[in-house]
Every structure is written in C-alpha cells, then in structure tokens.
Amino acid sequence: MLSKSSFSSCAKQLLVALTALIAMPSHAEPWIVGEAASVDSGELLYQEKHFRSDASALLSERVEYVAPTGELLVEKSLNGARSFITPEVEQNDLRSGTRFSVTDNGSSLDVRYQRGGQNSESKRIEKEERLVVDAGFDPYVRAHWEALSAGETIRAEFFVPARLDTVKISIRKTDAEQCAAITSTTLCLVVRPAGILRLVGWLVEPLYLAYEQGSQRLMMYRGISNLLDENGDSQNVLIRYQYANAAS
C-alpha cells in the first residue's frame, strides 16, 4: 500500500507541475507571477515567476522560484513539442543540488533523479493514456474541462520524480467555498489520492485549485508546497496567480 509520504510527494510535484517551463533571456518579464503565502500566518514565502518566448504558448517555458530576499531557489525548463501532457522536463534545486529530468523517447519516457550529491537513479516509463508529467497537469485539466465542469471524477497517473514512479490521483469539482480566496467565477477542483491510496486518503490533506471559467487559467492553489522551508519541513501554502496580459 502506498503511504502518506507517497501522496505528499505527488502533491509537492503537482505544485511544481503547475508552474510550467526552456531558457529565455534574463531580461524578459514574467507573464505570470504566483505569490505563495503561508496558510497559517499569511506571510509571503516565495514567488513563482513564469516566462515564455511566444505570447500564444499554452505553457510557460521557464519558471523561477524566488525567495522574498530575491535569492533564486529552483529553476526549471520544459519542452512540450511532443506532448503537452507528458512534456520533457529538467529541474534543478539550487539549494540542495537535487535535480531530475524527463526525456521523451516516443513510446516511453526516460526519467532520472538525483538527490543532492548522491548517485543518480533512472527508469523507463511506458506512456499510457492517463499518464501526466509535471506541467502536463494543466493541459490535462483543460482536456477534461467539460467532464470536470459537469461534476465527473477524472483519474490520472501522476509521475513523481523522487519515487521514479506514478501515483494514482482523482480530480473532481468541489464546493466553491474551498476556493473562496479567489473572487472571480471559478471552477474549484480538489485532487485526492485514488485507487489503493484512497484507503489512506484520510491521512493526507487534499489539494485545491481554482481555475477561471472563461480563460481556463489557474488562479489559485492551496495545499502542500513543493518547496521545503528553511528547516527542511513541508509547508502549506496559498498561491494566487496574476497574469501580465489577460488577453494573451
């Protein structure tokens, strides 16, 4: 049976996934800024700065996680040329040296994970219909928008780099009050463990996401953060996303 830590790892990676990603000029301005605050105190913990070179791109090409002091914490790039839902990814945590990559080989993905200065581990994962990698969560939601809006439950196999494996999750519409931090008309979604992990679902807190109805853009995330605090502990965050050009 998968443990509480399995879904926690999935939750952390899902948050990273929602901050999609390829290098751009350092002078470029972000088109999305997410401000992550502590659920408990409201204190600003970090910012997510999203960059893209093409204003029509569905995903950001690079994301930087920045501390309130301006220190760059994590950087990440993504290539969705073959698939937006199972994109190629490279991520580097500048604090710990932990990094992972996902490379598309057609019918399968080669994944690699390295924790700090330890030896890297690798694995090949076969592509499946419900497989979702990193920032692919966002287009996966949009691909199932009508079903989710109608109250159907959608399932996915979400890749968790630290486990070099997938975790079954369910996504469904939930009460709007769970997304009350956003005042605009939204589709409020809850993400929970599915399958066998559902049996221990009471051990883990769900994740809540608010999507704007018209643009289908992510406006809010509430749940466990993918970034640990200064003591190496998990932290619950409320992230509000602002877009530089609502028409783009």
Higher pLDDT among residues 54 and 45, named by residue: 45
Cα–Cα distance measured from residue 58 to residue 44, given in angstroms and rounded to the nearest whole number: 27
Cα–Cα distance measured from residue 101 to residue 233, given in angstroms and rounded to the nearest whole number: 24
Domain ranges of the chain: 4-243
Cα–Cα distance measured from residue 57 to residue 167, given in angstroms and rounded to the nearest whole number: 28
64 membership: H or E segment, kind and range: strand 62-66
Cα–Cα distance measured from residue 8 to residue 197, given in angstroms and rounded to the nearest whole number: 11
Q: Residue 237: pLDDT band by 50, 70, 90 thresholds?
A: very high
* Per-residue confidence (pLDDT) for residue 75, from 0 to 100: 95
Most confident of 38-47, 200-209, 218-227: 38-47
* Per-residue confidence (pLDDT) for residue 15, from 0 to 100: 67
Cα–Cα distance measured from residue 68 to residue 49, given in angstroms and rounded to the nearest whole number: 12
Residue 91 predicted with pLDDT over 70: yes
Tokens of 221: 């995330």
Residue 65 predicted with pLDDT over 70: yes
Q: Residue 25: pLDDT band by 50, 70, 90 thresholds?
A: very low
Cα–Cα distance measured from residue 3 to residue 203, given in angstroms and rounded to the nearest whole number: 9
For the chain, give the percent of residues with pLDDT over 90: 58
Average pLDDT, the chain: 85
Q: Residue 137: pLDDT band by 50, 70, 90 thresholds?
A: very high
Residue 38 predicted with pLDDT over 50: yes
- Dihedral over Cα of 97, 86, 218, 170: its sign: negative
- Do residues 60 and 24 make contact, with C-beta atoms less than 8 angstroms apart? no
Cα–Cα distance measured from residue 112 to residue 84, given in angstroms and rounded to the nearest whole number: 19
Cα–Cα distance measured from residue 162 to residue 228, given in angstroms and rounded to the nearest whole number: 14
Residue 23 predicted with pLDDT over 70: no
* Per-residue confidence (pLDDT) for residue 26, from 0 to 100: 44
pTM for this structure?
0.83
